[in-house]
Structure 1
Amino acid sequence: MKKILFFLNNRKNFISFSLLRLGATILGLVSNIFIVRKLSVEDFGIFSLALTVISLFTTLGFSWSSSSILYYGSKEKAKYNSINKTFWSRNIIIFVSLIIVTIGFILFRNQINSYIGLDIWFLLLLWLYVSVIEDYLNQYFLAVKKQITSTMLSFTAKIFYIILISLVPFDVPTLVILNIVSLSSIIFYTLSINRKDISKFEFDKPWFKEVLNFSLWQLFGFAGVYLINFGDVAVIKYYMTNKDVGIYNAAYQLFMGVTGFANIISNYYAGTVSENFASNNKENIKQFYYKERLYIFAISIVGHIVLLIFSKYIILTIYGEKYIESVIILNILLIGSMIRFLERFYMLYYNTNRKYKLQQTINIFRAVFNVVLSIILIQFMGLIGPAVATTVVFIITFLFSVFYCEKRISLFIKD
């Protein structure tokens, strides 16, 4: 009993962080219940298309440079007790990228509306801008190791969102507006920023070039990650119907909610692992990869088995009988989710050891291969084809990372 208490006490911050993430995920599922119960399957498919569009522009607009604050900000914080150089370097990057994306939104507004089937391009642009604030705050709190506060951002926005959709009658455009309003509710968290971390404008050219180089490779990788979902949806939309998009995305949203827990590993440990590799702390790296990793993966396996057993009940409870076809899709994707959990440990190795070019090359390969395989399999297997393609691609790229990273981690610890 004492060993269990000691184990839990040593990891109380991580457990608290994980529980809050779980709470945020559950709130996301609750909001999905409200949405799918009030929208038709076809309207949910249209809303899913709107989500893929905002995800694309979010990726191109700012997500690709997000982790620069986490990885470089944490290093700068350890050395200089501030993240000022990283903060202003990213400000320059995001200012330019948002201008380009805004122009893109305006130029392709008719195509965007045509793809979704609704005239909501301007609302999506507003959603993009509000999302920038959430992203900035989230990455800042992670970089300065205020992980609990970073999780409260999502928790707060989701609670507000649920309140709104439970009180306000909505269609697809109204849902977009409610998302904008709920995200705006986190603005008061700016009061928690430590002014010592961020001060007046500072431009360090070598630091900026390093952050930019890291971020540009993240852009390629993020585009690859995005294309896995967008590619599936685009393939289904081309070969099948909006209703099929809704059925597939119902399962995919649950899959993304589960794999979102894999981000806990990278978000919580990134700063610490980065510092340990930089300071050549072999003992801590050994503890993380050969002990902590096993605990986390064992827990995730148990969780996935439970989800696989109750997947039909989960789908029927959240979405209802009209989404029964989503069950088998979810089961296939959950196998890929298990792989994602293990893969996160290798992502930490790539990013903290300047192997991010290889990491993003893997992401690009995975995205392209996923689209090609989805096109082939959907013609033979129907709606489950893209799910099989996604899982197969995850397994292949995971095996490569095992081969590449494990021997290098072992050599680092032994040298």
Structure 2
Amino acid sequence: MSETVNNSLEKIAKGSTIILIGTMVSLLLGFIGRLILIRFTTQYDFGIYCLALTLVSILTTISTMGLGEGSTRYIAYLKGKSKNKLIPNAIISSIVITLSSSALIFIIAFFFSDFIATNIFHSSELSNIINIFLITIPFTAFSGIIISIFRSFDQFTIKVYFNDIMKPIIHIIFLGIVVFFARSLSGMASAYLMSIIIPSIIISIYFLKKHKLFGVEDFQFIDKSMIKELLTFSIPLLAVSIILTLMSWTDTLMLGYFKTAKDVGIYNSAVPLANLLTIIIGSLSFVYVPVMSQLYGKNQIRELGRSYVVSTKWCFIGTLPLFFILFVFPDFILNLFFGPRYISASIVLQILSLEFIINSYFGLNYYTLMTVGKSKFLMNCSLVGAVMNILLNIILIPIWGVAGAAIASTLSFVFIEILMSIKLYTILKIHPFTTTYLKLTILSIILISIFSTINDHTVASFWTFLVISFTFMLTFVLSLLFAHILDDEDVIITSLIKKKLGFNFFR
């Protein structure tokens, strides 16, 4: 293995570990916040909350103009090309675009919020919650672009401190205050608002103190040509972000249209649990994009391809144990977190878990295509998937309700994964499906089938859950060793795990 691949994998492994820890902390704190919301609101109010947050999330994505990923990739690519003199202009231009677009989106959306609430979703209560959430748009967009700038310089801990830890802690604190004094839905929404504003102000102050780190001296300088270049590169990524966000929330919106707010609440109790399966790929991608962008800038395609293959394998390995828990024990998990009212979402949790494990199985194809500049293809690919998702929702929701929405989402995203993998192989001749990866695939299917059958023939209890889960994890790890699933190049990842655990488990 070349020294370049070795260094790249080591950087990805170390950086991803930091992000993974931060993500896990964020998810834990986020679950506490969502648990408070669910426990102290009705299913109807929780559905209203989710609808409003969905709409504002889509608008926030639009306001970033694709620069969340675009600026990271572009700045890292400039570093790889040794064009450091252009980096300060790229930073300033990214900030100017983000602030301008987010302010414009906020004004337009605020003007139409009443119309959206009453004429589309037929809920006057929704209007007030939307207006509260709309205030978060410029703050979320600005803090996001600052984190992206730090990310392009391998400053990954900034996201952990400000976004993964500070934000959910503030949310929980203000939720607690609302629950103690007045359990109103507007109060819950205001708690979320404060969790966005306070970290945004703090990270802005921090950035102003650290701006010389990036070679930025004059914040008044605006390079019009750089703005044009950034927009040309990022607008296709904006389209992808909008489409993927719409796809992520299409199920919620269409359930709200075809069914009831109660159905929306039931569906969204399963969504955050299934989203846990994205923590590994999310952690890897946060570090993967700037590292691979620099390799591409240096035209080191072979090294890029090998890093992709190894990263994808570990993405799947890291995700599989959690998939097993969610897929085999959906009733237990939903009851544990949200109570017996939400056990009806079990089938949704199983279907969405399949969606996300398949996403992990195909790995980092999306981020690799973005790294090599195929943003237009990603846009077209996502558009096809979005249309497919809408059509499937129209067909399946009236028939199967929340389960139909989950099936529509899963089929659409799997279709996109297949298209991206085909494109990646076509242009770079790389794919993750090595002999060892196929052995891992067969092994995983066999083990899950066996332990799922065992669970079906046992009495459901907390101890049954613990014993079966632990036995599966142990069997899976031992199988990786004795079936020779791990290649020589996996030593970087396993060495990092060994250091974290404190013993040579993988020798």
Shared fold by TM > 0.5?
yes
Partner of 2:331: 312
Q: Is the contact made by 2:312 and 2:360 (CA closer than 8 Å) also made in structure 1?
A: no
Separation of aligned partners in 2, 1:257 and 1:159: 19
Farther off after superposition, 187-196 or 321-330? 187-196
Name which of 7, 13, 16 aligns with 1:14. Answer: 16
Report SS of the residue matched to 1:39: coil
| Larger mean Cα displacement after TM superposition, 102-111 or 36-45 | 102-111
What is aligned with 1:97? 101
Kept in 2, the 8 Å contact 1:218–1:356? The answer is yes
User: Percent of aligned pairs with the same residue?
Assistant: 22
Deviates more, 1:274-283 or 1:105-114: 105-114
2:466 match? none
Q: Which residue of the partner structure matches residue 288 of structure 2?
A: 269
Over residues 54-110 of structure 1, what are the superposed CA-to-partner deviations in whole Å (9 max), with x where a residue is unaligned? 112112222633222211122334531773222222234224423431332233121
Between the aligned partners of 1:10 and 1:389, the Cα distance in structure 2 is 33
Return 5+ residue gaps in structure 1 as ranges. Answer: 1-6
Q: Does 287-296 or 50-59 show the bigger shift?
A: 287-296
Any conservation in 1 of the 2:285–2:367 contact (CA below 8 Å)?
yes
Matched, 1:294 2:313: yes
> Which residue number in structure 1 is paired with residue 176 of structure 2?
166
Structure 2 counterpart of 1:125: 134
Instruction: Return 170-179 or 62-71, whichever deviates more.
Output: 62-71
- C-alpha distance in structure 1 between counterparts of 2:105 and 2:26, whole Å: 29
Q: Which has the larger radius of gyration?
A: 2
Contact 2:178–2:184 under 8 Å retained in 1: no
- The Cα offsets for residues 354-410 of structure 1, whole Å up to 9 and x where unpaired, read as 110001111121112101101101122222001001111111121112221124333
Distance 1:121 1:302, change over 3 A: closer
Q: Could you tell me how far apart the structure 2 residues matched to 1:63 and 1:260 are?
A: 24
Q: Does 1:339 align with 2:349?
A: no
Q: Structure 2 counterpart of 1:23, which letter? A: V
1:70 is aligned with what amino acid?
Answer: T
Alpha-carbon offset, residue 204 of structure 1? 3.8
* Structure 2 equivalent of residue 71 of structure 1: 73
CA distance in 1, matches of 2:93, 2:11: 38
Q: How does 1:15-414 map to 2 (within 5 A)?
A: 15-62=17-64, 64-78=66-80, 79=82, 80=84, 83-114=87-118, 115=121, 117-118=124-125, 119-154=128-163, 155-169=165-179, 170-186=183-199, 187-193=201-207, 194-196=210-212, 197=214, 198-200=216-218, 201-282=220-301, 284-343=303-362, 345-410=364-429
**What amino acid is the match of 1:135?**
G
Q: CA RMSD in A?
A: 2.4
The TM-score normalised by the length of structure 2 is: 0.75
Q: Secondary structure at the match of 1:211?
A: helix
Shift of the alpha carbon at 1:333? 0.5
Please identify, of 38-47 and 89-98, the stretch whose mean Cα deviation from structure 2 is larger: 89-98
Q: Which residue of 1 aligns with 2:448?
A: none
TM-score, length basis structure 1:
0.90
Amino acid at match of 2:116: I
Change (3 A) 1:364 1:216: same
Superposition deviation, residue 328 in structure 1: 0.9
Task: Report if the CA contact (8 A) 1:36-1:319 is conserved.
Answer: yes
Structure 2 counterpart SS, 1:324: helix
Q: Given the superposition, is the C-alpha separation of residues 274 and 267 from structure 1 closer, same or farther in structure 2, using an over 3 Å criterion? A: same
State the alpha-carbon separation in 1 of the partners of residues 302 and 396 from structure 2: 46
Highest RCO, 1 vs 2 (Cα 8 Å, sep ≥ 6): 1
Q: What is the number of residues matched between the two proteins?
A: 406
Q: Which 5+ residue runs of structure 2 have no aligned equivalent?
A: 1-8, 432-507
Which letter does structure 1 place at the counterpart of 2:195?
S
Aligned letter for 1:123? I
Distance 2:401 2:129 in 1: 31
- Aligned AA (1:142): R
* Residue 343 of structure 1: how far off its partner (Å): 4.7
**TM-aligned CA deviation for residue 10 of structure 1:** 8.7
Q: Which amino acid aligns with 2:135?
A: L
CA contact (8 A) 1:228 1:370 kept: yes
User: Quick check: 1:312–1:324 contact (8 Å CA) kept in 2?
Assistant: yes
What is the distance in 2 between the residues matched to 1:233 and 1:255? Answer: 15
Mapped to 2, the partners of 1:172 and 1:235 lie a distance apart of 22
